[in-house]
Amino acid sequence: MIAENLLTDEMAPLRLEDKGSEALTIMNLFGVRHLPLVNHDDYVGIVGEDDVLAHDLEEHVATYDLQVKTAFVKNYDHIYEIMRMMAEKNLTVIPVVSDDHKYLGMISQNDLLSFFANTSSFAEPGSIVVLEVGKRDYSLAEISRIVESENTKILSSFITSRPDSQKIDVTLKLSAQSIQNVLATLERFEYVVKASFDETDYLDSLKERYDALMTFLNV
């Protein structure tokens, strides 16, 4: 998945003649803290909520000395590069530009969340397992072999590193909704299971929380 396939059609960029008050209104309306600034079709930079609040609200955004000017992705950049740039710059939207620096659109955090939520690995029913593994001992092929020995597939996985530690957390989305046999086999191979979530348990917990909230609201 690349940037040009994730562009939002809900929000428009800011123009040089727009005022700070207008920028804040749009940000509040769409629940973001940043908006791209363009001059005709040329990308100028990103106007952040902090930029607006540092100026008179009736001042034009064109007068701002923007804190973020170089944050953008190209239309052919992969989704991982988009996520890296947004995290690095702590942005709620990221502008997408062409090779000649023409503004093509923007991608919001919600766009990314929607994309992942609708991918098969997230949308398919299943369960979650979190393993604690030494960095030198990590082998997805071995973990996959163990999981598949229990007639279960790994739908997706990602790694979370810890600063100043030789341990990593490996989060697995599994195809089975009941994974007790998988957990027992992993532990037999001396894997540390930090957490596991059966979908049935999760749904029961979610219903309990919903019922509790409804009871609270009706008080």
Residue range 175-189, pLDDT digits in tens: 888 899 999 999 999
CA dihedral 172, 177, 181, 187 (to 10 degrees): 30
pLDDT at residue 119 tops 90: no
Confidence of residue 157 (pLDDT cuts 50, 70, 90): confident
Q: pLDDT value at position 15? A: 96
Q: pLDDT value at position 168? A: 92
pLDDT at residue 115 tops 90: no
DSSP H stretches of helix in 4-71: 20-30, 49-53
C-beta of residue 83 within 8 angstroms of C-beta of residue 94: no
Sign (positive or negative) of CA dihedral 182, 183, 185, 189: positive
Across the beta sheet with 34-39, what order do the strands follow?
14-15, 34-39, 42-48
Average pLDDT over residues 157-166: 84
Q: What is the DSSP string of 100-113?
A: T-BEEEEEEHHHHH
Residue-averaged pLDDT of the chain? 87
pLDDT for 33-77, tens place per residue?
999 999 999 999 999 999 999 999 999 999 988 776 678 999 999
Q: pLDDT value at position 27? A: 94
Phi-psi region of 99 (alpha: psi -120 to 50; beta: other; left: phi over 0): alpha
Domains and CATH numbers, the chain: 3-115 (3.10.580.10), 120-209 (3.30.2130.10)
Q: pLDDT value at position 147? A: 95
Question: Which residues does residue 197 pair with via DSSP β-bridges, in sequence order?
Answer: 128
Q: How far is CA 98 from CA 15, 72, 79, 187, in A?
A: 18, 10, 16, 50
Q: pLDDT value at position 29? A: 93
Q: pLDDT value at position 161? A: 83
C-beta of residue 52 within 8 angstroms of C-beta of residue 29: no
Q: pLDDT value at position 201? A: 58
Q: State residue 196 phi and psi, 5-degree precision.
A: -150, 145
pLDDT for 137-152, tens place per residue?
999 999 999 999 999 9
Q: pLDDT value at position 102? A: 94
